[in-house]
Amino acid sequence: MQTTNVTGTRSAVNQMPMPTAINPTMQACIDACNACLQACEECYSACLSEPDVQARIHCIQVLRDCADICSMASQYMSRNSEFSQQFCNLCATICDACAAECAKFQDTHCQNCADICRTCADECRKMSTTKM
């Protein structure tokens, strides 16, 4: 009986298990990447609307890079690509950079995004170092 891969996102939409090569470490990382790409996109839009946007240019740039790589990491893992671990290793680096950048700003969206980026970096590191 399979249940391990039926987590978060999927269970909201469809409860049926799917036979898959995706193990719990990978699924946790997919979920973290999906959460992170959304947080980065939202924080990106929010930063663009802030009156001090001028001070947030670097943050905006890193948020975009982070959203893009999380999105692609999610796809690589979902198809169980042989490069998932190397991809997640780079994703962890960019998530760390994004967390550090967002942490500089005191508004809720940046602080929240920093937390989600840190979680995603941790999951990506776990994913990239786990014996598969």
Identify the residue among 85, 93, 100, 126 touching its own copies (CB under 8 A): 93
CB of 129 to its own copies, least distance (A): 16
**Percentage helix, strand, coil for the chain under 3-state DSSP, each rounded to 5:** 75, 0, 25
Q: Under the criterion CB under 8 A, does residue 1 sit at the interface with its own copies?
A: no
Q: Under the criterion CB under 8 A, does residue 23 sit at the interface with its own copies?
A: no
Site string for its own copies, 30-69 (x = CB under 8 A): xxx-xxxxxx-xxxxxx-xx---xx--x--xxx-xx-xxx
User: Residue 68: what residue type?
Assistant: D
Q: Dig out the tokens for 100 from the structure.
A: 């550090």
Q: Under the criterion CB under 8 A, does residue 83 sit at the interface with its own copies?
A: yes
Nearest to 77 by CA among 123, 41, 119: 123
